[in-house]
Amino acid sequence: MKRRTNKNKVWIAMSILSFALTLSGCGRKGTDVYGQEISERNITKLNAILSEPANFEGKTVTVEGKIIQECPTGCWFDIKDDAGMIHVDIKPSGFAIPQKVGKMVMVEGQVSVDNNKPVLIGKGVEIK
């Protein structure tokens, strides 16, 4: 019987790690995922948040829309749907996205209200 050498053990460990990292990068087909995984897939319409921001302050919501403007470093972006536009700040969550203006996006985050204007502090982003 062959003894496993340290070199073989390292190769096996690296193979397992590589396979695990490959699987962890798998998300929805054709979707780029940033930050935390989106846990709630019930979409809140932007018009609901925009018309009554105080009702959503401090609540976690998931929204969808098209990225219409983005910070050059990817730490914030604005999304728009048929009803309006909302600013998404992801810098407080410690991640950024690459330049994706014009792409559809799903964002989960907490609503913050400043001067009756809602802002979404994004925790997870999926770009389609």
pLDDT digits 0-9 by tens, 34-73: 999 999 999 999 999 999 999 999 999 999 999 999 999 9
Q: Look up residue 93 and give its two tokens.
A: 């969550």
Number of domains composing the chain: 1
Predicted TM-score of the model (pTM) = 0.77
Instruction: Look at residue 70 and tell me if it is in a domain.
Output: yes
Residue 47 lies in a domain: yes
Q: By the 8 A CB rule, do 86 and 78 touch? A: yes
pLDDT band for position 7 (50/70/90)?
A: low
Question: What six digits make up the tokens of 15?
Answer: 């193979």
Domain span holding position 61 = 32-127
- Please, what is the average pLDDT of the chain? 86
Residue 2 has pLDDT above 60, yes or no: no
Q: Is the pLDDT of residue 24 over 50?
A: no
98 burial via Cβ count (<10 Å: 0-12, 13-18, 19+): exposed
Classify residue 53: in a domain, yes or no. yes
Q: What is the mean pLDDT of residues 108-112?
A: 98
Kind and range of the H or E run holding 14: helix 6-24
CATH number of the domain that residue 72 is part of:
2.40.50.200
* Interatomic CA distance for residues 66 and 78, integer angstroms: 8
pLDDT of 21 > 50? The answer is no
Is the CB of residue 90 less than 8 Å from the CB of residue 35? yes
Q: What is the DSSP string of 37-73?
A: PP---PPPPHHHHHH-HHHHTT-EEEEEEEEEEE-TT
Return the bridge partners of 45, or none.
none
Residue 7 in domain: no
